[in-house]
Structure 1
C-alpha cells in the first residue's frame, strides 16, 4: 500500500495571531501559537497550536499533542483534500512562516 504525503505549508490567513512561550514539565519549550485557521471552505476557527521549540530555532508539530479543537480543525483541513492528518511530525522553519500542517492520503 502506497501512501502519499501531502505537506500543506499553505498560506494560513491569520488575524490577531500571537505566541505564548511555556516550559513543559518534561523540560520542552513550547510555543503556543493562537491563530485563526482558515480551512479553505470559508470556515475560520481560532485555535491554539502547540509547537515544540527546538535548539536550532525550528519548531516541531505533533498532531497527537494538539488540543482537541486544533485536532478537529486539522482533520477538517485534511478532509478537504481527501486526506487525514499525518501521524508523524512536521517542522516549521523560516522567517515569516506562521503555520504548516501535514496530511496523508492513500492513492
Structure 2
C-alpha cells in the first residue's frame, strides 16, 4: 500500500540575500541566490540556492539541482518538521519574497 505524501511549504528566515544571474548553455536563466538560511533550531548556514527564472517572473526550485551544501540544509530544515525534501518542484513569486522550499512527509 502506498502512503500519500503531504506537501508542506515551510517558511524560511533569511538575511543578507544577494543574487547573481547566469545564463546556462541550454538557454535557461538561473538566479543564484546566496542567503543565510536559518532553520527552526536556530542554526544559520550561508548557502547558494539555484532558482530557474521563468518567463512569467516566477522562479522554480528543484532539490536535485541544488549544490550539496544547500541540499544538506534543506534536509535539516525538513527533518526538524518531521519530513524530508520534496522530490517535486517549488515556485517562488511575489514582491519581497527571498526563499521558500518544500518538504514531504508520510501521514
Q: TM over 0.5, yes or no?
A: yes
Equivalences for residues 83-94 of structure 1 within 5 A: 83-94=83-94
SS of equivalent residue, structure 2 residue 13: coil
1:13 is displaced (CA, Å) by: 2.8
Q: How far apart in 2 are the matches of 1:78 and 1:11?
A: 11
TM superposition score normalised by structure 1:
0.95
8 Å Cα contact 2:12/2:38 also seen in 1: no
Q: Does 1:80 align with 2:43?
A: no
Q: Which runs of 5+ in 2 are unaligned?
A: none
| TM-score, length-scaled by structure 2 | 0.95
Residue 11 of structure 1: how far off its partner (Å) = 4.0
Unaligned runs of 5+ in 1: none
The aligned residue for residue 101 of structure 1 is 101
Q: Encode CA deviations 1:28-81: one digit per residue, 9 max, x unaligned.
A: 000000000001101000000000000000000000000000000000000000
Which position in structure 2 is the counterpart of 1:7? Answer: 9
CA RMSD, Structure 1 to Structure 2 (Å): 0.7
- Find the counterpart in structure 2 of residue 61 from structure 1: 61
